[in-house]
């Protein structure tokens, strides 16, 4: 039997997967990492596996915070990951929502809003990745559906230790 294809990238939903979802997390003070998340990102980074975040951010459309807050939180996450040798290769966020109170972000079915695969497809294209060499981990069915629509395997994270979960899901594909 041939070895499985090497893993080239892991796409992550953010809230509920990398950080605890306290509801519209948008600043450093509200950031609480999921157990095992930083360790997983560090292990993947060390092994040369790209880590890419794809996150719906309807809080922008709802007027709770601006896109500048999303970028600032991502920069803060990146700085914290750097202390353990981890890095996120790219962050993609979708601020659009059908119930937006901010008119500029109102859209019934934006191609980036999961379960649509727009953010994932952009990440694949910009990094020159084959979806067969990638997986996505999310905490909602819409995340897994977006992965399926992009042609990659998706894992539904039920909570707990993200590192242990991904070791179990990836098996021999987990980089060592």
DSSP string, 42-73: HHHHHTT-EEEEEEE-HHHHTTSS-HHHHHHH
Residue 53 resides in a domain: yes
Q: What is the pTM of this model?
A: 0.96
Pairing of strands 90-94, 50-56: parallel
- C-alpha to C-alpha distance for 92 and 120, rounded to whole angstroms: 8
Residue 41 resides in a domain: yes
Check residue 2 and give its pLDDT: 47
Residue 27 resides in a domain: yes
Residue 83 resides in a domain: yes
Check residue 3 and give its pLDDT: 53
Q: pLDDT by residue (tens digit) across 114-158?
A: 999 999 999 999 999 999 999 999 999 999 999 999 999 999 999
For residue 169, give the nearest of 1, 2, 4 by alpha carbon. 4
- What CATH number does residue 44 fall under? 3.40.50.1000
Check residue 5 and give its pLDDT: 83
Residue 78 resides in a domain: yes
> How open is the CA angle 142-48-10, to the nearest 5 degrees?
5
Q: pLDDT by residue (tens digit) across 29-74?
A: 999 999 999 999 999 999 999 999 999 999 999 999 999 999 999 9
Q: Is residue 25 very low, low, confident or very high in pLDDT (cuts 50, 70, 90)?
A: very high
Residue 176 resides in a domain: no
- C-alpha to C-alpha distance for 1 and 42, rounded to whole angstroms: 30
Check residue 1 and give its pLDDT: 39
Beta bridge partners of 36: none
For residue 136, give the nearest of 48, 3, 20, 17 by alpha carbon. 17
Query: Could you list the residue range(s) of the whole structural domain that residue 48 is in?
Result: 13-168
- C-alpha to C-alpha distance for 110 and 166, rounded to whole angstroms: 29
Residue 2 resides in a domain: no
Q: pLDDT by residue (tens digit) across 96-118?
A: 999 999 999 999 999 999 999 99
Residue 1 resides in a domain: no
- C-alpha to C-alpha distance for 154 and 129, rounded to whole angstroms: 16
Check residue 160 and give its pLDDT: 98
Catalytic residues: 13, 15
Q: Is residue 164 very low, low, confident or very high in pLDDT (cuts 50, 70, 90)?
A: very high
Distance in angstroms between the alpha carbons of the first and the last residue of the chain: 20
Please give the tally of structural domains in the chain.
1
């Amino acid at each position: 039997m041939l070895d499985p294809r090497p893993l080239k990238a892991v796409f992550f939903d953010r809230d509920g997967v990398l950080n605890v979802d306290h509801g519209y997390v948008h600043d450093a003070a509200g950031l609480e990492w999921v157990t095992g998340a930083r360790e997983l990102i560090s292990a993947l980074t060390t092994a040369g596996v790209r880590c890419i975040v794809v996150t719906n951010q309807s809080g922008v459309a709802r007027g709770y915070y601006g896109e500048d807050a999303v970028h600032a939180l991502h920069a803060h996450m990146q700085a914290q990951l750097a202390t353990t040798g981890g890095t996120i290769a790219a962050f993609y966020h979708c601020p659009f929502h059908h119930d937006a109170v901010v008119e500029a972000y109102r859209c019934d079915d934006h191609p980036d809003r999961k379960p649509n695969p727009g953010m994932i497809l952009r990440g694949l294209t910009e990094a020159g990745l084959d979806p067969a060499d990638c997986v996505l981990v999310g905490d909602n069915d819409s995340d897994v559906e977006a992965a399926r629509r992009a042609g990659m395997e998706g894992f539904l994270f039920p909570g707990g230790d993200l590192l242990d979960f991904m070791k179990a899901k990836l098996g021999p594909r987990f980089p060592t």
